């Protein structure tokens, strides 16, 4: 007959008890959920801007994760456009032009952000109504001279 095997377990020492007045270290909601964007800040914005007074505790986490996923997809498209850009290989930055090209080439993002104007890309002229009067008069003179 074979004897039953006995397993020996080493007893783990019990964790040292903390003093009664000791504080626990605070862990942010972003760290707990594994997100990069600030969950608590987006949660505050939701509660301040929402007409609904009651919301779930997980509402901020869900919205933050959706925004983070959209940003990830958008930056991936822009990085692909940057990689395909043959004009400047020395510069490794993603510019607003790369963002615009990525948005225009993607069907869903073009539907969502097709009419958004990005600053610093040099593609669209600002409306004359948004400029100061001094600048508007100069532009009108330049436009008349060029015609």
pLDDT of residue 17: 65
Kindly report the length of the chain. 147
Say if CB 68 and CB 36 are below 8 A apart: yes
Determine the Cα–Cα distance for residues 118 and 96; give it in Å rounded to an integer: 7
Res 106: pLDDT: 92
CATH number of 30-120: 1.10.20.10
Predicted pLDDT of residue 100: 86
**Confidence at residue 1, expressed as pLDDT on a 0 to 100 scale:** 53
19-64: pLDDT as tens digits: 766 777 888 888 888 889 999 999 999 888 888 888 888 999 999 9
The C-alpha atoms of residue 141 and residue 127 are separated, in whole angstroms, by: 16
pTM confidence score: 0.61
Q: Helix, strand, coil shares of the chain as percentages rounded to 5?
A: 50, 0, 50
pLDDT tens, 118-135? 776 655 555 666 666 665
Confidence of residue 66 (pLDDT cuts 50, 70, 90): very high
């Amino acid at each position: 007959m074979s004897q039953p095997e006995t397993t020996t377990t080493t007893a783990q020492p019990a964790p040292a008890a903390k003093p009664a007045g000791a504080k626990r270290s605070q862990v942010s909601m972003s760290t707990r959920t594994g997100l990069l964007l600030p969950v608590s800040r987006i949660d505050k914005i939701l509660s301040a801007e929402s007409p609904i007074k009651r919301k779930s505790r997980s509402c901020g986490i869900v919205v933050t994760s959706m925004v983070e996923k959209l940003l990830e997809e958008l930056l991936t498209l822009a990085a692909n456009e940057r990689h395909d850009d043959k004009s400047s290989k020395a510069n490794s930055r993603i510019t607003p032009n790369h963002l615009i090209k990525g948005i225009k080439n993607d069907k869903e993002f073009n539907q969502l952000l097709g009419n958004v104007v990005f600053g610093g890309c040099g593609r669209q002229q600002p409306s004359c109504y948004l400029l100061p009067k001094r600048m508007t008069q100069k532009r009108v003179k330049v436009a008349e001279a060029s015609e």
